[in-house]
Structure 1
Amino acid sequence: MQALDTVIILLYFSVLIGAGIIGSTKAKTSEDYTLAGRNLGMFMYLGCLSAVILGGAATIGTSKLGYQFGISGIWFVSMIGLGIILLGTIFIKRIDSLKVTTISELLGKRYKSETRLLSAIVAAIYTLMIAVTQVIGMGTIINVLLGWSITTSMLVGGGIVLFYTILGGMWSVTVTDIIQFVVMTVGIFFIMVPMSLSKVDGLGNLLSKLPQSHLDFTGIGYQQIFQYFLLFALGMVVSQDIWQRVFTAKSSKIARNGSIFAGVYSFAYAIAGSIIGMCAFLVLPSLDNPQNTFAEMALTILPTGILGLVLASVCSALMSTASGSLLASSTLITNDILKQYFLKNPSDKQLIRASRITTFLIGLIAITFSIWIQDVLVALDVAYAILSGAIFIPLVMTFFWKRATPSSGFYAILISTIVVLAGLFFEGLTATNPILYGMSAGLISIVGISLFTASPSEFDTPFDEDEEDVEEERKQA
């Protein structure tokens, strides 16, 4: 790293702080703070959604997988893109009409009130662990590039994100995410990929020199691909940080189309990251730690100045996901726990103050956990496993099975969570089966409890039916 690269990265951090301050001037109401006033157009919505789903794990992880497995390294981020497309094409129209703030609020409306509390706790833990992972990633990059201690690096990176997130909530996150989306796109697609291919004398030469296993789209293994589907494709559908971005769109059409475009962008991002990793396989054949593939490749092929810009793009990916996750965790706690049990009929000012205080505390916890643990990839898998295994089935049944009773959703989430945790304990923290066990337990619980304990008056109905249809069905029952 040369002085110019260091200046560029520090200047970029300063721009983010300034953008956060500008965004804070727009947060006048609690809805502005949590959902940017539900007022984002297509470009801003697409940029924000893409920035939050493609974090540091997507950038660093895909290049690592490309180094190890070749083109089949695309499956990790591709499943994230598939999840966003599923959300956009199947669920968004139904979700948008409800005007809720969190996934827990929706589940609380459909099932009993305790369901809202339980799902809020599960989802808040998940979003917190995502934030922890991103802070660790920021700390690692800053430590390597600027030479600061790992603790100082995490404090600086996490502190910047926490500062602008507290100031303006979703508006600050939106303004900074647009900047981060542009920097990510330029850094990966217009600098790293062309220069990586140039370093190996073109795509044709790359394909001719790679081992045949690196050109197999299923080289990573069908079991691993299926695990990515369970963790990330289904996880995206029930992730609060993703839902919160969906709620910021000005219309359901923008939310739907923007989600589809973000999914397609994710597929392109997956291919780009895998190509960088495959080029590194030839340029750096004796790399000790594949986790460092992206950083080592950048240090090897990029000139001074450009290097600072590209590494700033990696920090962008980390910061956008971290800020969205912090705000999502804070919103869950404020909206579904504090507002329901501790703040009776709060004003907008009280809600904003509570949100800022909660965001501050969640941020401190995230930074503390990052410094303490320093490796939470396994914990992140556990969080995704619980989220997919425990929340996905009750959410789907919310929209597509009208006979689910209020109690069935609550017990389905509770039983599924216990089953997933037990499965992870007995089969290992990276096992796929516990997710399937949890989903199966949830389906059996919600159907069994509904059919065997419901009275006709408990028959509920999907949210998109009007009140006359509801009343007519109750009379017939």
Structure 2
Amino acid sequence: MRILDISIMILYFSVLMIVGVIGSKRAKTSDEFIVAGRNLGHFMYLSCLAAVILGGASTLGTAKLGYQFGISGIWLVVMIGLGIIAIGMFLTNKIFDLKVLTISEMLEKRYNSETRLISALVSVIYTFMLTVTQVIGMGTILHVLAGWNLTVSMIVGGGIVLFYTILGGMWSVTMTDVIQFVIMTIGIFLIMLPMSIFKAGGWSTLQENLPASHFELGNIGGGTIFQYFLLFTLGVVVGQDIWQRLFTARTKAISRNGTIGAGIYSVFYAIAISIIGMCAFIILPDLDDPQTAFTSIAMETLPAGLLGVVIASVVSALMSTASGTLLASSTLVVNDLIKKYIGPGMSERQFVKTSRITTLTIGVMTIIVSIWIQDILVALDVAYAILSGAVFFPIILGFFWKRVTANAAFYSILASMIVIIFGLFINGPSSTGPILYGLATSFVVITALTLLSPKNETLTEGDAAKDIKGKDVDMAN
């Protein structure tokens, strides 16, 4: 990278840290620190949700898949987008009225405290591993561009995110996400995509020189596409990082329209990044590591100044997701574990202080695990496999089937989580089997135990007879 590009990157990092300091002055209460005071308008809400959806795996991972499989590489992010659109169409009205901080808190209201505990543990694993993928991505970019040791690169990238997230919580994350959304949109759609196609010789040259299979939507394989549906479409529907953003909207209309808009944006993002990966295949046909396809073609294609903007856009995608998932992970730990079982009487000030300490602890652990794993798609597979396989049915059926009992939900999560973890060890993290086994186990257990329980158990067990507002009406109604 040239001096101009490095200067742009330093300026960008400096702005993020300044924003973190500004955000710290607004984050005085738990609602302000965790969900930005539930006061975001249309643009800020859409920007923040799109930014948290599209991170390292979405950018570097899709470019890698585009390099290897062509346009079929879109499916990873398209499935994420479809999950987000499904939330907007079917769940936002229900979610908006909950007025809780976490999915696990909602499950306690619907079922009981044991279900809250076990779902919190599952969701913490998911958000933690999702943060790991972003730190790996940031490390990969800095390693390729700056020539730093990969470990040092992960520490630097993860450290910056940790700094501004600790200071301002969701307010800092929101303000930085708006900046990051604008930069990633300009960098990907207005600079990187057209420049990559031009450098490759135009679209006609791509059609002439790429294998015909690179233009087939199913080239990646039906099994892989189905796996992405299980992992990402089902996973994002019940992801704490996504729900936490939904809680920040000012109105139901903002929540619904912004969520659908973010999902549609994701589909276009997937197409753009896949095409960039296809261009990389023409320009750099002998890459040793396809995971570096995006950064490598950027360095090969872009002049000084533009390179700095584009790399800042990719780092934006990574940092926005990392900060969101890091905050989601610490929120689960503080709200559903520490406050629930250790300090139920903690004040607002103590809650925010505890959240900052927890965010620091989880952030350091994230960097350590990132250095250990170093493979972005492996970490992503593990995160979504555990989440979608274990908690999808208890959450969705909790909304739409009022007979589901607390015991059924609890044992469904417990049994499916055990099955998934053993499946991941036996079949490997990229196998579809553990997810299918987990989903099947979850559905069978929750259905069987509900049908076998006395009919009046649904209305007497735990808090299932109350909705989130405390009325004597089942939430599923």
1:422-468: CA deviation from partner (whole Å, max 9, x where unpaired): 33333332211221221121111112112213351534569499957
Aligned match of 1:60: 60
Cα distance in 1 between the residues matched to 2:413 and 2:474? 26
User: Which shifted more, 297-306 or 443-452?
Assistant: 443-452
Instruction: Give runs of aligned pairs for residues 176-191 of structure 1, distance below 5 A.
Output: 176-191=176-191
Number of the residue aligned with 2:37: 37
- Quote the residue 2:372 is aligned against: 372
Over 3 Å counting, the alpha-carbon distance change for 1:257 and 1:168 in structure 2 is same
Note the C-alpha offset of 1:153: 1.9
**Are the equivalent residues in 2 in contact too, given 1:402–1:461 (CA < 8 A)?**
no
Distance 1:455 1:62 in 2: 48
Change (3 A) 1:146 1:427: closer
Report if the CA contact (8 A) 1:112-1:409 is conserved.
Answer: no
Note if contact 2:71-2:274 (Cα within 8 Å) is conserved in structure 1: yes
Indicate whether 1:11 and 2:11 are aligned.
Answer: yes
Say whether residues 1:213 and 2:240 are aligned partners: no
After superposition, residues 55-454 of structure 1 pair within 5 angstroms as 55-375=55-375, 377-454=377-454
| 8 Å Cα contact 1:398-1:462 kept in structure 2 | no
Supply the distance in 1 between the matched residues of 2:408 and 2:316 (Cα, whole angstroms).
42
TM-score, normalised to structure 2's length? 0.95
Mapped partners of 1:304, 1:451: distance in 2: 65
Write out per-residue CA displacement over residues 105-130 of structure 1, whole angstroms, 9 at most, x where no aligned residue.
Answer: 11111112111111111111111111
On the 8 A contact 1:33/1:170 being kept in 2, the answer is: yes
SS at match of 2:248: coil
Verify the 8 A CA contact 1:111 1:408 in the aligned structure 2.
Answer: no
Structure-2 change in CA distance of 1:444 and 1:201 (3 Å)? same
Q: 1:155 to 1:425 in 2, by over 3 A?
A: closer
Structure 2 gaps of 5+ residues are none
Cα distance, 1:464–1:347 mapped onto 2, change above 3 Å: closer
Contact 1:155/1:367, CA 8 A, preserved across alignment: yes
Which residue identity does 1:451 align to in structure 2?
L
Moved more, 408-417 or 444-453: 444-453
- Map Cα deviations across residues 133-163 of structure 1 (whole Å, 9 max, x no partner): 2112212211222233323222221111111
Tell me how far apart the structure 2 counterparts of residues 33 and 324 of structure 1 sit (CA, whole Å): 12
Residue 253 of structure 1 aligns with an amino acid whose one-letter code is: A
Whole-angstrom distance in 1 between the partners of 2:339 and 2:41: 29
Letter in 2 for 1:57: A
The one-letter code of the counterpart of 1:72 is S
Matched to 1:403, the amino acid is: R
- 1:375 is displaced (CA, Å) by 3.2
Change (3 A) 1:438 1:372: closer
* Number of residue pairs aligned between Structure 1 and Structure 2: 472
Q: Give 1:76 shift.
A: 0.7
What is the TM-score with the length of structure 1 in the denominator?
Answer: 0.95
Instruction: Give the Cα–Cα distance (whole angstroms) in 2 for the partners of residues 225 and 148 of structure 1.
Output: 35
Give me the whole-angstrom Cα distance separating, in 1, the residues matched to 2:241 and 2:474: 32
CA distance in 2, matches of 1:351, 1:256: 30
Question: Aligned equivalents of 2:468 and 2:372: distance in 1?
Answer: 46
CA distance in structure 1 between the partners assigned to 2:472 and 2:90 by the alignment? 25
State the shift of 1:369 in Å.
1.8
Distance change >3 Å, CA 379–CA 278, structure 1 → 2: closer
Aligned residue in 2 for 1:49: 49
* 3-state SS of paired residue (1:404): coil
Distance 1:398 1:407 in 2: 12
Which amino acid in the other structure matches residue 427 of structure 2?
Answer: E
Which letter maps to 1:180? Q
- SS for the counterpart of 1:344 is coil
**For residues 295 and 434 of structure 2, what CA distance do their matches in structure 1 show?**
34
